[in-house]
């Protein structure tokens, strides 16, 4: 089951984010994390949609989509695009189609709202997953990495 998450799911989303970070970076205990996550969620909720996937009543995956609206110009409407972030599926549910189901929900949401594109910053491991779903390199965007 995949559904839109809301503020009642903050603790679950925070736990999924903690697991994701621990898996990628080996992070340790952080007693204030849930409070920081709650503050971030509340600040972002007006421009992000969050999804939570569950299997047998337990959280199994999550993701979110930030909607960015460009400034309009004369004779050009304000276009919108989405930034897909924080896609995570717990290890025991990977390679079973749950990630693709989450992605399909995000894409359908973006299409229904007329978003012109979805961009993301994939991990090296996830690049083949996104390519299989039709994502490609963004040759028309530039990025400035942080200065050292």
Question: Is 148 part of a structural domain of the chain?
Answer: no
Q: What is the mean pLDDT of residues 140-148?
A: 82
At 25, the pLDDT band (50, 70, 90 cuts) reads confident
Q: Which residues pair with 76 in a beta bridge?
A: 73
Question: Is 118 part of a structural domain of the chain?
Answer: yes
75: left (phi over 0), alpha (psi -120 to 50) or beta: left
Tens-place pLDDT, residues 44-103: 999 999 999 999 999 999 999 999 998 888 988 888 999 999 999 999 999 889 999 999
How many separate helices (H) and strands (E) can be counted in the chain?
Answer: 4, 5
Average pLDDT, the chain: 93
* DSSP string for residues in 25-58: H-----TTHHHHHHHHHHHHTTTEEEEEEEETTE
Domain extent, residue 45, equals 2-71+78-132
All residues at 6 or more sequence positions from 123 whose CB lies less than 8 Å from its CB, including other chains: 24
Question: Is 138 part of a structural domain of the chain?
Answer: no
Which has the higher per-residue pLDDT, 8 or 72?
8
Token pair for residue 75?
Answer: 């004779």
Question: Is 143 part of a structural domain of the chain?
Answer: no
Q: What is the mean pLDDT of residues 24-30?
A: 80
Q: Work out the percent of the chain whose per-residue pLDDT is above 70.
A: 100
Question: Is 144 part of a structural domain of the chain?
Answer: no
Number of structural domains in the chain:
1
pLDDT at 62: 98
Question: Is 87 part of a structural domain of the chain?
Answer: yes
Mapping DSSP to helix (H, G, I), strand (E, B) and coil, where does residue 74 land? coil
pLDDT at 140: 80
Question: Is 142 part of a structural domain of the chain?
Answer: no
Question: Is 141 part of a structural domain of the chain?
Answer: no
Q: Residue 126's domain is classified under what CATH number?
A: 3.40.630.30
Q: How far apart (Å, rounded) are the C-alpha atoms in residues 138 and 119?
A: 8
Where does the chain show beta strands of DSSP type E?
Answer: 2-5, 48-55, 58-69, 80-89, 118-120
């Amino acid at each position: 089951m995949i559904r839109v998450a809301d503020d009642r799911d903050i603790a679950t989303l925070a736990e999924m984010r903690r697991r994701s970070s621990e898996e990628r970076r080996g992070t340790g205990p952080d007693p204030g994390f849930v409070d920081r996550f709650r503050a971030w969620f509340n600040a972002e909720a007006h421009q992000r949609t969050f999804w939570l996937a569950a299997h047998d009543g337990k959280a199994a995956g999550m993701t979110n989509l930030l909607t960015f609206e460009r400034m309009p110009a004369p004779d050009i409407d304000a276009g919108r695009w989405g930034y897909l972030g924080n896609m995570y599926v717990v290890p025991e549910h990977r390679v079973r189609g749950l990630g693709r189901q989450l992605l399909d929900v995000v894409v359908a949401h973006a299409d229904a709202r007329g978003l012109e594109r979805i961009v993301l910053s994939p991990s090296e491991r996830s690049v083949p997953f996104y390519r299989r779903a039709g994502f490609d390199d963004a040759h028309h965007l530039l990025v400035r990495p942080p200065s050292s």
